[in-house]
Amino acid sequence: MATGLKRYEFSERLADILGESRRDLRFRVTMLVADGLVAPGPRGRGSPPATPHYAAKLLLGSMAAPQQSYTVEAIRCYERLRPTARTADPAAPRITLGPRPLSRHASPPPTLPLLSGHRTFGEILARLLELATMPETRQGLARELFGIWVSRSYPVSAVQLGAWSEGQRNIITQGYEPAGGERPPVWLDPERDGNPDPGLYHTLFLPAAKLVEIGKLTSLPDQARPPMINLGPKMARISKLADLVRQTRFRGRWEQLLAALASVQAWSDQVDTRASKLVEVRDFGSNPGQLRMLTYVPDRLPAAAPLVVLLHGCTQSGVSFDKGTGWSTLADRHGFALLLPEQHWTNNPLRCFNWFRPADTRRDEGEALSIKQMIDRILEDHGLDRRQVYVTGLSSGGAMTSVMLATYPDLFAGGAVLAGVPYRTADNMQEAFESIFQGRSRTPREWGNLVRGASPHRGPWPKVSVWHGDADSAVKPLNADELVKQWTDVHGVAASPPVERTVDGHLCRVWQGADGEPLVESYTIGGMSHGAPLSTGDRPDQCGTAAPFFNDVGISSAFHIAGFWGLLERESDASVAAATATADRARPTVIDLSRDYLSRDSGGDRPDHGQPEGIYARGGHASDQTAGSAARRPESGGTDAGSESVARGVPPGILVEPSGPEREETGPEPSDRASGPTGGGDVPLGIPLGINVHGIVRKSLAAAGLIQDAAPAAGESRAGDMPFGIDIPGIIGTSLEAAGRLRGSATGPDSAGSTKEAAQATADSDWEGEGWELLTDDSGGPRLFGQVSSGRTCETGKQVRSASRKIVLGPSPELSYVRRLNLDAAVNDYTSASFSVLVDGTPVDEASAVGMEHVEVEWLQRSDIDLSRFAERTVTLTFEVAASSNVCSEVSAKAWVDRIRIKSVSSVC
């Protein structure tokens, strides 16, 4: 029941709390109504009640807009601000070099579920006011919230919480800034006669006590659906949820599951802070379940493509679920679209889909209807095939998959349930605990009747794939057998014996129809705990990222599910070349360091190609040893066909070498290296087929006694020792250059003439991404150059460009490289530019500038970066530049990267 103030009373009390004019607030309310931000209503006693969402808009307009006339513009701009990385540091200009130190004894960062799941500043502000409205959460909010602040000088804002760690209370700041491509508000936009001078405006801070006081004046509308459990900020102490279990026999297992979910949430939150390929879609319907719609549509999607709906598990997000399972990788390869409904923390304290609430599990109600509305929207927007709609999910998402298959069987052609439960196994929370920890057994007909009673549909029915680990302690494996009972009965094959086979070492049972078509299949993954089965790597049957609840057990559930649905029979045009390259690299990416194919001397020194060295490949795969045995040797002046095997055996662009007691680097530092393109007698990279045309012609002429066998010094003319004074090697080399078969002399990072060539070289190399180019260094070898900017054309927000490639690491790997950086963020206190080196998305080396400029004029050597936590794994190495501006002033990041080396510090046999 509404107990707060009416709108007209609320605006006056808000003015008193903020110290503003009541007349000013009344005028702002009029602007909100006139521009459609809030619904109109009568004044006086008939005025509608002030809700938390109404209060959030008026509060934001009052704090952010420097003038009344900018109120609506300010609300629309600041409501959309997106979260940045959380920090315990004050927001002050700074330069940070090197990765954050990893300490085995450091306590984990405090979990802050209060901030999780809210993707915009408008959402979190409304949520805070909701918590202040309810007496049961108000005290906890006042204890944990420090305050919020909004800057009028540039569109940034923040929520600050007090988090206890190691006996002291620290202020954790969650910042918010514009998304990429957003224009600044009108008063900061020079193209709309704005004045971006930060000196004219200031920052406003609202302490927690005042926000709670404002929230107490509001009321939730009577028709609003309250959160399942109004724990509010108490969610930060996840152990408090242990009291939800009333059955004492399940208490220990529930507490174990909560501890596991805390690690899942920590990983998911980390993934969510990084740039995502998913796109949010709003206004897809009435959305009674209050879910969020995320989509992924590959480039050059075929006409009438299939659709796969992905439902995440508890404490996960749509982004992290895709990251873990790798479904977007399959979508790129085989040409289908993805829909990822996402739960809000306000609907469930663990962000689980509410598969046990009847209001969310009935056709055309609650969360089930929200997902149906999302499907209708994406099918219409992209012209997808309505006959090829599929759904899959993990854990609570798997249980919700059962709900969708049962309530909308006419919509889906197939489904897959991973570590889930049957439809209608529970109708309340306590039954849900009993189902997941103990299991509920029914006859096939009883289970089937629940599905048949969920909709008027009478067939045909979607085909169903069931996956479960036999060591799952979170969801009892009995549930997989009950799921099979349910869907074999629906398909009328419950009495039929299954066809059993072994797939990648795991048992698979298949129930077929009268025509032999597989209708239901069940995979039992031996020894696997709770989660989705993965096989990570570069092969076509591999995808995903190992993480909590994403288990690398050597079989890819996503790949086999897609095959069961028939999605692997088509291959998108965009993926044909990539799939071919992946197949070529599949076996050779395991680098065998027992053969040093590119070595020029017994000491194992790297080729000397100038300063700084280019990026070279060393090593080969065991299967290439025969072909590579005749590769270039110290006594050989060129290469033969064996070098082609070497090029395939190790992805070009990475120097990989063993470094034990018997093989230590003894070469000089970069400043001591020869500067010529063929220093040390090596053949420079970048020549056709790896053949040194100049060297071969010169040696042939020397053998004929026409010239002396000596290379000219740098800058010295070649013609003096040539017959008749003619530089024959130079003429041949120049002719090949003109024909496009030989790269010219050195081109620096800023060479304008190298742009087109570098772009093509990047496309032809194993590096993938955008915003980076493969230039040519002084030795003729490749050099990476990346750049990005924000704010240059008033497109603000964080912009990221990256280049990535796969590589297999040894037992004790280390990374070294050289770089030059130009990070220009000297615009205001909140603009930033950064450079990062990441392995599987985890930063291993970083440099960032906030409100300042950082320029590395000289090449900087970064050596012995420990990668042992990624040892003996196929990983993705990424170089990334990022820039973020909040006004119409350019912020940029540029990076030149050379001499990338991966070495193993253990001995190699």
Residues known to be catalytic: 395
Whether 301 and 337 have beta carbons less than 8 Å apart is answered as yes
CA 789 to chain centre: 20
Burial of 126 (0-12, 13-18, 19+ CB in 10 A): buried
- For residues 312 and 350, give the distance between their C-alpha atoms in angstroms, rounded to a whole number: 12
Other C-beta atoms lying within 10 Å of the C-beta of residue 136: 11
Residue 25: count of CB within 10 angstroms of its CB: 22
Q: Report CA-CA distances (Å) from 670 to 613, 658, 659, 747, 897.
A: 8, 20, 19, 18, 14
Neighbours of 517 (CB within 10 A): 8
Q: Are 467 and 520 in contact (CB under 8 A)?
A: no
CA distances to 618, 695, 838 from 613, rounded to whole Å, are: 14, 20, 22
CB 205 within 8 A of CB 87: no
Burial 604-634 (b: 16+ CB within 10 A, else e): bebbbbbbbbbbbbbbbbeebbebbeebbee
Q: Which two tokens stand for residue 524?
A: 């039992």
The token pair at 2 is 């509404």
First to last CA, the chain: 76
CB 435 within 8 A of CB 441: no
Helix 429-437 / helix 251-272 crossing angle, nearest 10 deg: 100
Residue 787, both tokens: 């750049």
| Nearest one of 146, 203, 873, 221 to 547, comparing CA atoms | 873
Q: Are 564 and 306 in contact (CB under 8 A)?
A: no
Q: Which of 148, 197, 198, 209 is nearest to 176 (CA)?
A: 148
Query: With the C-alpha atoms ordered 99, 102, 107, 111, is the resulting torsion angle positive or negative?
Result: positive
Contact 901, 842 (CB under 8 A): no
Task: Using alpha carbons only, give the angle 104, 867, 607 rounded to the nearest 5 degrees.
Answer: 150
CA-CA distance, 667 to 678, in Å (whole number)? 16
| CA 714 – CA 892 distance, rounded (Å) | 36
Tokens representing 204 are 């406003």
DSSP output for 433-492: HHHHHT-----HHHHHHHHHTTSS--S---EEEEEEETT-SSS-THHHHHHHHHHHHHHT
Q: Are 87 and 175 in contact (CB under 8 A)?
A: yes
Helix, coil or strand: residue 161 = strand
CA geometry: angle 348, 350, 353, nearest 5 deg: 55
SS3 at position 218? coil
Q: Omega before 460 cis (within 30°)?
A: yes
> Which residue from 115, 121, 110 is spatially nearest to 156, judged by alpha carbons?
121
Question: On the CB side of 709, how many CA atoms lie within 13 Å of its CA?
Answer: 12
* Percent of the chain that is helix, strand, coil (3-state, to 5): 35, 25, 45
